[in-house]
Chain A
Amino acid sequence: MPMKPKGYWCLVLHAHLPYVRHPEYDDFLEEDWFYEGVVETYIPLLTIFEKFLEEGIDFRVTMSITPPLANMFCDELLQKRCLRYINSLCELAEKETWRNRYIPEFLETAKMYEAKLKNARRMFEKYHCNLITAFRNLQDTGKLEIVTCCATHGFLPLKVHEKAVRAQVRIAREDYQEKFGRPPRGIWLSECAYTPGIDQILKEEKISYFFLESHGIIYGTPRPKYGVFAPVYCPSGVAAFARDMETAHQVWSAETGYPGDPNYREFYRDVGYDLDYDYIKPHLHSDGVRRNVGIKYYRITGKVGLNDKQPYNPQWALDKAASHAGNFMFNREQQIKHLHGYISKEPLIVSMYDAELYGHWWYEGPDFINYLFRKIFYDQKTIVPITPSEYLEKFPKNQVISPAASSWGDKGYYEVWLNGTNDWIYRHLHKMAERMIEIAENNSNTTDSLKVRALNQAARELLLAQSSDWAFIMTTKTMVEYAEKRTREHILEFTSLYEQVKNSTIDEGHLRWLEGKDNIFPNIDFKAFA
């Protein structure tokens, strides 16, 4: 660094999707979450990061790639289907460029899609359909720091068995080692849900830092001298970084946030609904129901109904993303200068977002990140982007605080995951954890390979049932049926495996089928529960 910066900025993107993979169907609606993430978020981000490297633009991004997502990246079936999805979109995009060739107000947008989708295909094929390779390479350059997450995004404070909490962390750590060729330094606790004591488990599992919602630190004991603008050490010695609300608000706020700008792309106006049925049908699911396919020609326009939306203009949208990036940077410089009046050291601002916001929901989000790091690199000297482990290396002396229980969900605690729509799941999840611990302890020395397989599969079923996504979906009331079905199926499969292990009546045929279907964590070791 040529000059000593006034402060540091840490961008954290939480990339997560629940493990959705249905080999029993040729075509499965909810698998689209993954394919859309690949095309709209993960590849655009990778493209930008690789471009930074190529052009020598220094940048720092911290990303959680959760174990379910990492396992989906590595799964051959999903890779094959993702390529099929990309190919179908590329074909549609080509047809669209043709269809719109005499409509100047849509032609540029059609061309943009064609170019972007073809780039997505190039990137996907370049990494032989496994994007983990791309992320791992970037991490090895030191510009991107990848943290792990709880094994299946389990919501730790709502578990009652310590061993179940530990297993979520240990299995994640082992999976990370396998995927990224090194142990994880940090962890993203699902939904930033923390309760005192979790830090001790992290310590024992050799994790050195995690992220918290701001009141986790503000309400910590003793009083945090630097508020959320410096990490703290928990009594266990594990560091905690808290979210800065100003940057969160600036991007997210429904009213004043960037993504709602009239020039940005309207998510809800999609050719899946707009175009002639026979024309769009080959690009819909096999049930033929009209849904979003990802090609959209209109901009948000303003507070108008869907039919009054105006055509999207890619250049205007890019210009807007650049100006929002400039605004964001300016505000960080101001924020840091302002904080200097109150803090005797260089403040750290931690901005945490769901990765899927960038690209999938906010279409121009990746462009925003692109402009932002370029501007930070070329246009200012106040702030320096940093990763948590770089920060801790530079500033190893931090206050010791017991953070307060909290989450980054609505209302700041656990209600989103524990309310009248989903509370029924916990009596089952807890019983399953209790039973898993029981059979893991009783069989920890078993050499019976069939039994080991059944125990490992029982562990997978339990972990998949523990995904906080299901409880979340039940609360948001969209796709509830799927979340309930998944929860029920994992409970029932687990219960059946538990009985079979206990009674030594393992049904190998069904076990094999289940191993092929719920195949997350190919190298899981059930003894994580013992």
Chain B
Amino acid sequence: MVSSTSGKNTTRAVRSTVQNELPKNYGDTKIVLMPRDPFWSYAYWEINRETRDKLKKEHGNKGKLTLRVYDVTDIDFNGSNAHKHFDIYVSEEAENWYINVPEVNRAWCVDLGLLLPDGRFILIARSNFLSLPRHGVSSVTDEHWAILQKEFEKMVKLSGIDKIGQSSFDVSRLMKERWEQLMSMPSSHVSSFNRPVEAHVVKEGKNFWLRADTELIVYGTTESDAKLTIGDKEVKLNPDGSFSLRMHLHDGEIPLPIKATSKDGSMSKKITFKVTRTTK
């Protein structure tokens, strides 16, 4: 952990931070509330050692760690004027919680505290105020842009309200789904899809089958600055003067005239292969 009192930092010490663990905590006592969707919020918190010690000293192990969730819609919340509240008991070790709210389109605030057996609530930290995303259409109409209920319903439909929430139009996700679909098909179960080009020889019986094919590799070396052709095609040499070409070998006779010409064009060498394939 990187502590704020580490003082001198040698180059080595700083570089090694990359291998270090993330800070487990930051010495704060706080709770932060975040929005997930109209129905759920997420809270994370931290209680520093000092606060923990103090709580222990004053209340022993009697209290239950509690999230008190207040409805603070349209009010200047002072700790006691919420519209309503509900409690969630969390374990000592918990550091975060997803909170399902009982009502949409409201604003919320969460107190992290200790609930004592006598009913007292000891505040540890108060969160930010949070309005969750609005759910559903508004009931307010604009007098300058008035619209009848019926027309509005139509407009909402045309705007694609039925597709809200189903819009998982994310490419990588779709592609991943396609991949999984492909992998669930029997003919895709091969370790690598190492089928040689396309089978030209297919002999299939009922359950027994054979596929086979041939390829040809032409390779060699010459002076690295030479010009090399195979037939009418110029072949690019590797920096060390080597070359290799691979091609499908079909039935019949394939002539392979290989010609190397020196850089200045004064010298040349030729080797010609003739390859024949017959299928029976």
Contact = CB atoms under 8 A, between A and B. Distances in A.
Interface of A: 91, 94-95, 98-103, 105-106, 157-158, 160, 195-196, 213-215, 217-229, 242, 244-246, 248-249, 252-254, 260, 267-269, 273-274, 276, 279, 290, 303-308, 311, 339, 342-343, 354, 356-357, 361, 399-401, 404-406, 408-415, 418-419, 423, 426-428, 430-431, 476, 478, 488-489, 491-493, 495-496, 499-500, 502-503, 505, 507, 509-510
Contact of A408 (B6, B161, B167, B215): B167
A126 to B, nearest CB: 22
Given A223-B137, A354-B171, A215 B164 contact: yes
Contacts of A98: 233, 245-247
Which of B2, B144, B170 neighbours the largest number of chain A CB atoms within 10 Å of its CB? Answer: B170
A153 to B, nearest CB: 14
Given A99-B245, A229-B158, 19 more contacts: A101-B248, A103-B250, A158-B34, A214-B163, A217-B159, A222-B145, A227-B155, A229-B159, A244-B159, A306-B182, A307-B188, A410-B173, A414-B133, A423-B42, A427-B44, A428-B23, A496-B14, A499-B4, A507-B9
Contact of B193 (A100, A217, A307, A492): A307
B96 A423 contact: yes
B11 A290 contact: no
Given A406-B133, A413-B37, A495-B17, A245 B140 contact: no
A94 B236 contact: yes
Contacts of A215: 161, 164
A510 B247 CA distance: 51
B136 interface: yes
A348 B158 CA distance: 13
Contacts of B34: 158, 160, 418, 426
A223 B17 contact: no
B75 interface: no
A428 B22 contact: yes
A95 B245 CA distance: 7
6 contacts: A101-B247, A103-B197, A229-B158, A342-B151, A412-B167, A413-B35
Interface in B141-175: 141-142, 144-147, 151-152, 154-156, 158-161, 163-165, 167-175
Interface of B: 2, 4, 6-11, 14-15, 17-18, 20, 22-23, 26, 28, 32, 34-38, 40, 42, 44, 46, 96, 128, 131-138, 140-142, 144-147, 151-152, 154-156, 158-161, 163-165, 167-179, 181-182, 185-190, 192-198, 215, 217, 233, 236, 245-250, 254
Contacts of B128: 160
A290 B191 CA distance: 11
A44 to B, nearest CB: 16
A489 B15 contact: no
B142 A399 contact: yes
A273 B192 contact: yes
B37 A411 contact: yes
Contacts of A409: 168, 170
Contacts of A303: 181, 185
Nearest to A213: B167
A428 B134 CA distance: 27
Contacts of B145: 222, 225, 399
B164 A214 contact: yes
Q: Which 4 A-B pairs have the closest CB atoms?
A: A245-B160, A305-B187, A405-B133, A305-B185
A157 B182 contact: no
Contacts of B165: 411-412
B37 A414 contact: yes
B236 A91 contact: yes
A461 B233 CA distance: 52
Given A218-B156, A342-B154, A103 B248 contact: yes
B160 A342 contact: no
A298 to B, nearest CB: 10
B46 A226 contact: no
